[in-house]
Amino acid sequence: MASFQGRLEYVVETDGGSPDARMNEIEVLGVSQRPTSVILNDSEDLVFEYDENIEQLLITLDVSIKSSFTVSIS
């Protein structure tokens, strides 16, 4: 099983509260699907894995407050 893991780092531009960032949609080589596993752990890393060999990911995030995001795929 091939898998990809991504780390989501964000800087909150507004005061108070925690950012509400959820994985909304991932487009895999033109085919839109949800990941097999999405984990938002205590260190606020967003980890997602797939069962297929994936060469390219297009990530769309649903964010409820104004934030700035850095997404890296390894």
Q: What is the pLDDT of residues 54-65, one digit of tens each?
A: 444 444 444 333
- Cβ 26 vs Cβ 63: under 8 Å: no
Q: What percent of the chain has pLDDT over 90?
A: 0
Instruction: Please give the Cα distance from 64 to 69 (Å, whole number).
Output: 13
User: Is 50 exceeded by the pLDDT of residue 73?
Assistant: yes
Instruction: Please give the Cα distance from 32 to 21 (Å, whole number).
Output: 19
User: Is 50 exceeded by the pLDDT of residue 71?
Assistant: yes
User: Is 50 exceeded by the pLDDT of residue 6?
Assistant: no
